[in-house]
Amino acid sequence: MGEDVYVVGVGMTRFGPHDGRVGDLAFEAGVSALDDAGIRFDEVGALYNGYIGGGGLLAGITVAKDFGLTGVPVVHVENASATGSSAFREAVLNVAGGHAEVAMALGFDDMNRMGGSTGLFKPGVETVMLPAAFFAMWATRRMHDHGTTVETFARIAAKNWNHARHNPLAQRRADHEVTVEEVLASKMIAYPHTSMMACAAGAGAACAIVATRAVAERLANGRPLVRVAASVQQTERYTDGHIFMGAVVGPGELTRTTAVAAYEEAGLGPTDLDLVHVHDAFPIEELMYYELLGVCGEGEGDKLVAEGATSIGGRIPFSTDGGLTARGHPGGPTGLAQIFDVVRQLRGEAGPTQVEGARVGLAHMMGAGSVCVVHVLQQGAG
């Protein structure tokens, strides 16, 4: 990947409904990350703005002007749900390639204000069938193939709701411990998924600043360094029985091949992971990603859920901040919210959701099913 790259600052707003300008959220998250790093904006050598629809065509430039007129190169990154992850990867590659000592990735969006189709393509089934329907198909197929029960899906969702209870920036914060029965009793969206199993869509912003080792050591201020051990992005390959139905439903194999490449780049494996974030828009995804990321064997994900292995305090916690289900999924900033949590976990700054002894974290995002981005972050210098 080139020169070692470290995360030196992270910032985030609360996810959820917001009034006012989405650029204000971006500014808040960016300033928070700059403060966390202990630098000024004029020290940033490149800015990658990730947004899908929030703010319009020139939103990225407008946000950059809010920080200051420094002449910094600004690039708009868009990759569906993987937008924030892709912006982070671009910042990492910029520093790794020696183009800048410091680069910023900033994601912001308001899913409730986004428009519809761009009109660039003819209508197809993917514009009619919402992701909820596609993931419902995945879930019912899983139930047929492996005997997965609706209670398993509800247990995953309840776990994520309960993780979010301790996250002040989460969109969904219950005032009580959420039960499996409560999740199952919520409104049916697309069988077997109920409304409490579906990801929360709202507004928000998140930011991460990366830098060279020399800069990271100068800014550490006694905190552990957090190194980007791997940054891998892939798109789908043809497989037997491939479904050509647009980008929303991509092959699960994409996650497996991207993760294997990330493990190879990091020199680590799934047994080295202390916590994981995935694209868990619906619980079927999290369940499948247990297996596709190599955390367990095929068909063994249900057992992990039953054992509580993926809860905080378990063997391999997933979605420690509540995930897309409860922390929320505004679009552009989602992948950067994952980085925000992983960095805080590896620094030991995650408070009541802290994973004891966390040294390695993985962040995985899918972009409309046909793009996969995997980052592995590790505590300490390379």
Closest CA to 377 of 352, 358, 354, 349: 358
Pick the CATH number of 6-114+201-219 from 3.50.30.50, 3.90.230.10, 1.10.3720.10, 3.40.47.10: 3.40.47.10
> Would you tell me how many other CB atoms lie within 10 Å of the CB of residue 113?
12
Q: Is the pTM of this model over 0.75?
A: yes
Overall average pLDDT of the 288-297 stretch = 96
Q: Where are the domains of the chain?
A: 6-114+201-219
The predicted pLDDT at position 119 comes to: 39
Q: Taking each helix axis from N to C terminus, what angle separates 131-146 and 283-292, rounded to the nearest 10 degrees?
A: 60
Q: Which residue has the higher pLDDT, 28 or 114?
A: 28
* 241 pLDDT tier (thresholds 50, 70, 90): low
Q: Distance between CA 302 and CA 328 in Å, rounded?
A: 24
In Å, how far from its chain's centre is CA 54? Answer: 18
Give 128's pLDDT tier (boundaries 50, 70, 90): very low
Cis status of the peptide bond prior to 270, with omega within 30 of 0 = no
Q: Mean pLDDT, to the nearest integer, of 48-68?
A: 87
- Of the pLDDT bands very low, low, confident and very high (cuts 50, 70, 90), residue 242 is low
The confidence score (pLDDT) of residue 123 equals 43
Mind listing the pLDDT tens digit for each residue in 95-112?
999 999 999 999 999 988
Question: What integer best gives the mean pLDDT of the chain?
Answer: 92
pLDDT at 376: 98
Is the pLDDT assigned to residue 240 strictly greater than 80? no
pLDDT at 167 over 60: yes
User: Positive or negative, the Cα torsion across 139, 143, 144, 146?
Assistant: positive
pLDDT at 54 (0 to 100): 62
Contact predicate 376/230, CB 8 Å: yes
| Residue 244 pLDDT > 70 | no
Which residues is 277 bridged to in the sheet? 363
Least confident of 56-70, 113-127, 285-299, 325-339: 113-127
